[in-house]
Amino acid sequence: MVAQAAFIRLYGFLVGAHQEGVRCVEIITGLGSGVEGGILRRELPLWLEHPELRRVVHSAAYPHAANRGAVRVRLRRAKRT
């Protein structure tokens, strides 16, 4: 998947999960083939800081040291209407 398409899908996934009241999701990026990992793994932290995503993302962390190809993302509480 190219980076731009991946960002669009990530955005839709996180915003949709937030609207449904989901509080935690796991994103599987894989390790990639490069020394520093694949493009998705390297770009994910930058994408999570995007202004449109900061309103739904609370924090992100790797589940454990042995699983560097996945990131857990905690979402903010959805505002009640």
pLDDT of 14-67, one tens digit each?
999 999 999 999 998 877 766 666 778 888 989 999 999 999 999 998 767 777
DSSP state of 66: T
| pLDDT, position 2 | 81
Predicted confidence (pLDDT) at residue 75 exceeds the cutoff of 90 = yes
Of the ranges 1-5, 37-41, 47-51, 76-80, which is most confident? 47-51
The domain defined by 3-75 folds into Ribosomal Protein S8; Chain: A, domain 1 (3.30.1370)
Tell me the pTM.
0.83
In the structure encoding, which two tokens stand for residue 62, read together? 């790797």
For the chain, the structural domain boundaries read 3-75
DSSP H helical ranges for 1-81: 3-19, 39-48, 51-54
